[in-house]
Amino acid sequence: MSHNLKQLEKEFLEYLEIEKGRSLKTIENYDRYLKSYFSFSKITESKDITDDNVREFRLWLNRRSGHNDGDTLKKKTQNYYLIALRVFLKYLAKRDIKSLAPDKIELAKVSERSLDLISHDELIRLMDAPTLSKTGEEDKDLKSFRDKAVLELLFSTGLRVSELCSLNCDIDLKKDEMSIRGKGEKVRVVFLSQEAKDAVAEYLKHRKDMEEALFVSLGTNENKRLDSRSIQRIVKHYAIKAGITKKVTPHVIRHSFATDLLQNGADLRSVQMMLGHSSITTTQIYTHITDKQLGDVHKKFHNKRS
């Protein structure tokens, strides 16, 4: 039986959206990656996906220029194309449509991901930065209260910046936890520290508008819900104010949340749940934190001969 790739890809993308609950951005990316392979290979049917044309496609990706002239695509970027193809092949196998076996697609090896981290002292300075004026006195304007709440919530919950932006004013500060809808529309529980609850309560106490969004812009576009770019600017501003020379982003605070938990004895699986990672392998970028702790324990307690 002939299986037209164009129709199969359309059905696959609909499957990702409806049954898997993937975001529209993810679906757009999968569409682009798959069309790139189909166009390169000049194939039109599922049975035409072979080891040979996949290998040729991988060579083409490896030699293809990146965004900067003279640079090739990073291995991690190349893998996005291969992952999309592998997930598509798994979908075909599920429907018993003849094609290449998904396990034939092997990903390129990438170097271990390094984490952008700030020290504990830098983190404290960052958290305190919104509440201090240039003279070192306590700052009591609405913007300072808002920005303090932004930073404390990011560190307390480990939220992604998009998840933070989606929060509304109906947050229940009597509880130490709240539910958040994250990637793939999956709901998870995140936890609120007393510092975060106090900061949000103080901010809401000074809010006079009736907007439902928790974090809104002030000034020119008053009461408009803050977007991810705005939160990134806020974090960057206070990192500079705190005298931190490293690049600090909301994701760096998310890293700090995870490493803080691990360094204080949390297990990797619990951290995975709190971060909303669908796979433990994603959370394993933090294992070097616990590995270092093990090394410190070894040095402190091993071979203490009299």
- Residue type, position 26, single letter: T
Active-site residue, 160 included? yes
- In terms of C-beta density within 10 A (0-12 exposed, 13-18 middle, 19 or more buried), how is residue 202 classed? middle
**Residue 199 in 3-state DSSP?**
helix
Which of 183, 225, 236, 288 does the annotation list as catalytic?
A: 183
60 exposure class (CB count in 10 Å sphere: 0-12, 13-18, 19+): middle
The single residue of 47, 143, 251, 288 carrying the catalytic annotation is 251
Among this protein's residues, is 251 annotated catalytic? yes
Instruction: Please name the residues in contact with 60: beta carbons below 8 A apart, sequence gap of 6 or more.
Output: 40
Q: Enumerate the β-bridge partners of residue 168.
A: 213
Active site includes 286?
Answer: yes
Identify whether 183 is a catalytic site residue.
yes
**Pick from 247, 236, 260, 252: nearest CA to 130:** 236
Is 254 labeled as catalytic in the residue annotation? yes
Residue 44, CA distances (Å) to 4, 8, 266 in order: 6, 10, 50
User: Which residues make Cβ contacts (< 8 Å) with residue 69, sequence separation at least 6?
Assistant: none
Catalytic residue, chosen from 22, 160, 197, 255, is 160
Length of the chain: 306
Q: Which residues are catalytic?
A: 160, 183, 251, 254, 277, 286
